Amino acid sequence: MATKTENPLLEKLVKDCTNAREALQKALSNYEQAKEFCNLLPEVITGHDWYFFRQDEPGKWYMETWCLDEEKADTFIKELKIVGVYGFHSKFINSNCWHYTGSFVIGDNEFTVKVDGGSKPPLCRIEETKEWKEVISYKAICDETGEEVK
């Protein structure tokens, strides 16, 4: 927008519009590029409900699921391996929650796939660790009355 703003609220709204236009242009560009290879992707990948699908840099794409239960995630990971997703490695998140990340290549495009969920890898164990942290708290005291200000 080429209008001159006169207050911070209008400046914020102009900035929001500019950011939204840039995001739309990026999404349209990603869409045009992805159309070229989407028909080459296996149905296991195209048929899944992805939480993220974005281009991180030219020729590098990132895909992520969101909160799959353990059984669904394990099945999906097996299917992805069958269609050529390789190099899966696991990462422990918290309270017995895991995610798995793998890769595949189509033409000049490299894809990173993250499956959020899955069971504990057979050769891993979870150990409880305890950390002691010092807690520091502050209170405000009024000099005039000597009372705590809450």
CB 57 within 8 Å of CB 112: no
pLDDT in tens, 22-41: 999 999 998 998 888 888 89
pLDDT in tens, 68-126: 999 999 999 999 999 999 999 998 887 678 899 999 999 889 999 999 988 888 877 77
Please provide the DSSP assignment of 8-56 as one string.
Answer: HHHHHHHHHHHHHHHHHHHHHHHHHHHHHHHTTS-HHHHTS--SEEEEE
Whole-angstrom distance, CA of residue 61 vs CA of residue 107: 12
Q: How does residue 5 score in pLDDT terms, banded at 50, 70 and 90?
A: low
The three-class DSSP label of residue 58 is coil
pLDDT of residue 93: 82
- Predicted TM-score (pTM) of the model is 0.72
Q: How does residue 1 score in pLDDT terms, banded at 50, 70 and 90?
A: low
